[in-house]
Amino acid sequence: MLKAKLIELKEAAHKERIEDLTGELKDIGWGSQIRSYVFHPYSLVKDHRTLAETSNVSAVMDGEIDLFINEYLKSL
């Protein structure tokens, strides 16, 4: 009986720890996208959280996302 109670407490603590780590999960859908990439007919990358934009799509695709990171940090 005591062993079962200890296991139950340990499982509850583990579940609480997992919930703390995952945070609030959101649905993935069109309304929750962070960035839009347009390759044709014009080049544009737009961050929907900060409204930052750049026309250098190839640089963003190569990993140069400092513009978006800095704008997001400014918005905090």
pTM (predicted TM-score)? 0.57
Domain that holds residue 9: 2-75
What is the tally of structural domains in the chain? 1
- Cα distance between residue 5 and residue 72, in whole Å: 46
CA angle 58, 73, 56 (to 5 degrees): 15
- Chain centre distance of CA 25: 10
Banded pLDDT at 70 (limits 50, 70, 90): very high
What does the pLDDT look like over 2-51, one tens digit per residue? 888 889 999 999 988 888 877 776 666 676 788 999 999 999 999 998 99
